Chain A
Amino acid sequence: MDAILAQLLNGLDKGGAYALIALGLTLVFGTLGVVNFAHGALFMLGCFCAVVFRYLLTIETVTVDPTQLSPWGAPVEVRTPLVQSWLGDWGAFLVDYSVPLSVIFAVPVMLVIGIVMERGLIKHFYKRSHAEQILVTFGLAIVLQEIVRSFFGANPVPQPIPADLRVAADVGVWFGMEAYSVTYPTWRLVYLLFSAGVIGAVFAFMRFTTFGMVVRAGMADRETVGILGIDIDRKFTIVFGLAAVVAGVAGAMYTPLLAPNYHIGMDFLVLSFVVVVVGGMGSLPGAVVAGFLLGVLQSFASMNEVTSIFPGIDQIIIYLVAIIILLVRPRGLMGRSGVMES
Chain B
Amino acid sequence: MFSLSRKDFTLLAVFSVIVMTMPIWLQPLGAAYPGLMQKFVIYAIFAIGFNILFGLTGYLSFGHAAFLGVGSYTAVWSFKLLSMDMIPALFFAVVFAGIFALFIGFFSLRRSGIYFSILTLAFAQMSYSLAYSVLTPITNGETGLLIARDDPRAIDTMLGVGQSASGMPMPSLIGIELGGYGGFYICALVLIACFFLSQKIFASPFGMALRGIKSNPTRMIYTGFNTKPYMLTAFVISGMFAGLAGGLLAVTDPIAGAERMQWTESGNLVLMTILGGVGTLLGPVIGAWVIKYCENIFSAINTQMLNGFFEFLPDGVQSVAVTVMSKFVGEGWHLTLGLVFVLIVVFLPGGLVEGAEKLRHRFRRRSDTYDLAADAQEKRT
Consider the complex of A and B and state whether they touch directly, i.e. have CB atoms less than 8 Å apart.
yes
Residues of A within 8 A of B (CB): 35, 121, 124, 128, 130-132, 134-136, 138-143, 146-147, 149-150, 154, 266, 270, 273-274, 277, 281, 311-312, 315-316, 319-320, 322-323, 326-327, 330, 340-342
Q: Are A139 and B338 in contact (CB under 8 A)?
A: yes
Whether a CB of chain A sits under 8 angstroms from the CB of B118 is yes
Closest chain-A Cβ to B132's Cβ sits at a distance in Å of 7
Whether a CB of chain A sits under 8 angstroms from the CB of B130 is yes
Whether a CB of chain A sits under 8 angstroms from the CB of B119 is yes
Whether a CB of chain A sits under 8 angstroms from the CB of B204 is no
Proximity bits, B260-282, A CB within 8 Å = 1, else 0 = 00011001001100100000000
Residues on B with C-beta less than 8 A from A121 are 342, 346
Q: Are A146 and B112 in contact (CB under 8 A)?
A: no
Residue of A whose beta carbon sits closest to that of B330: A150
Q: Are B129 and A326 in contact (CB under 8 A)?
A: no
Q: Name which of A136, A140, A146 has the most chain B CB atoms within 10 A of its CB.
A: A146
Proximity bits, B335-351, A CB within 8 Å = 1, else 0 = 10111011001100100
In the complex, which residues 49-94 of chain B have their Cβ closer than 8 Å to any Cβ of chain A?
Answer: 58, 60
Q: Are B121 and A132 in contact (CB under 8 A)?
A: no
Whether a CB of chain A sits under 8 angstroms from the CB of B318 is no
Whether a CB of chain A sits under 8 angstroms from the CB of B122 is yes
Residues on B with C-beta less than 8 A from A135 are 270, 274, 341, 345
A-B contact pairs, 27 of them (CB 8 A): A124-B346, A131-B58, A131-B60, A134-B117, A135-B270, A135-B341, A136-B345, A139-B342, A142-B337, A142-B338, A143-B342, A147-B335, A150-B335, A266-B264, A277-B118, A312-B130, A315-B134, A316-B129, A316-B130, A319-B126, A322-B122, A326-B115, A327-B119, A330-B115, A341-B115, A342-B112, A342-B113
Closest chain-B Cβ to A309's Cβ sits at a distance in Å of 12
Main secondary structure of the interface of A (DSSP, over half): helix
Residues on A with C-beta less than 8 A from B126 are 315-316, 319-320, 323
Alpha-carbon distance A320/B125, docked complex (angstroms): 10
Whether a CB of chain A sits under 8 angstroms from the CB of B153 is no
Residues on A with C-beta less than 8 A from B331 are 149-150, 154
A341 interface neighbour in B112, B129, B132, B339, Cβ under 8 Å: B112
B332 interface neighbour in A150, A316, A326, Cβ under 8 Å: A150
Residue of A whose beta carbon sits closest to that of B339: A143
Closest chain-A Cβ to B63's Cβ sits at a distance in Å of 11
Alpha-carbon distance A279/B66, docked complex (angstroms): 26
A146 interface neighbour in B107, B122, B263, B338, Cβ under 8 Å: B338
Residues on B with C-beta less than 8 A from A141 are 338
Alpha-carbon distance A140/B331, docked complex (angstroms): 18
Closest chain-A Cβ to B102's Cβ sits at a distance in Å of 16
Q: Given A136-B346, A270-B263, answer yes or no on A312-B134 (Cβ-Cβ < 8 Å).
A: yes
Q: Are B335 and A143 in contact (CB under 8 A)?
A: yes
Residues on A with C-beta less than 8 A from B129 are 312, 315-316, 319
Closest chain-B Cβ to A298's Cβ sits at a distance in Å of 12
Residues of B within 8 A of A (CB): 58, 60, 107, 110-115, 117-119, 121-123, 125-126, 129-130, 132-135, 217, 263-264, 267, 270-271, 274, 327, 331-332, 334-335, 337-339, 341-342, 345-346, 349
Alpha-carbon distance A139/B217, docked complex (angstroms): 29
Alpha-carbon distance A24/B113, docked complex (angstroms): 21
Residues on B with C-beta less than 8 A from A138 are 267, 270, 341
Alpha-carbon distance A166/B102, docked complex (angstroms): 51
Closest chain-A Cβ to B238's Cβ sits at a distance in Å of 16
Residue of A whose beta carbon sits closest to that of B62: A134
Residue of A whose beta carbon sits closest to that of B344: A139
Q: Are B341 and A270 in contact (CB under 8 A)?
A: no
Q: Given A131-B60, A135-B270, answer yes or no on A142-B125 (Cβ-Cβ < 8 Å).
A: no
Q: Are A35 and B107 in contact (CB under 8 A)?
A: no
Residues on A with C-beta less than 8 A from B345 are 132, 135-136, 139
Closest chain-A Cβ to B120's Cβ sits at a distance in Å of 10
Alpha-carbon distance A270/B334, docked complex (angstroms): 20
Alpha-carbon distance A327/B123, docked complex (angstroms): 12
Alpha-carbon distance A35/B121, docked complex (angstroms): 14
Alpha-carbon distance A134/B274, docked complex (angstroms): 12
Closest chain-B Cβ to A4's Cβ sits at a distance in Å of 24
Additional A-B contact list (15), CB under 8 Å, known A323-B126, A330-B111, A341-B113: A131-B117, A134-B60, A134-B117, A138-B341, A139-B345, A146-B334, A150-B332, A270-B121, A270-B122, A270-B263, A312-B130, A312-B133, A323-B122, A340-B114, A341-B115
A132 interface neighbour in B112, B122, B123, B349, Cβ under 8 Å: B349
A340 interface neighbour in B113, B119, B125, Cβ under 8 Å: B113
Residue of A whose beta carbon sits closest to that of B262: A266
Closest chain-A Cβ to B355's Cβ sits at a distance in Å of 16
Closest chain-B Cβ to A306's Cβ sits at a distance in Å of 13
Q: Given A124-B346, A134-B60, A150-B327, answer yes or no on A315-B130 (Cβ-Cβ < 8 Å).
A: yes
Residues on B with C-beta less than 8 A from A330 are 111, 115
Closest chain-A Cβ to B212's Cβ sits at a distance in Å of 14
Residues on A with C-beta less than 8 A from B114 are 35, 130, 134, 281, 340
Residues on B with C-beta less than 8 A from A128 are 349
Alpha-carbon distance A326/B114, docked complex (angstroms): 11
Q: Are A143 and B332 in contact (CB under 8 A)?
A: no
Closest chain-B Cβ to A211's Cβ sits at a distance in Å of 27
State the 9 A-B residue pairs at the shortest beta-carbon distance, nearest first. A142-B338, A312-B134, A139-B341, A146-B335, A315-B129, A143-B338, A139-B342, A319-B126, A319-B122
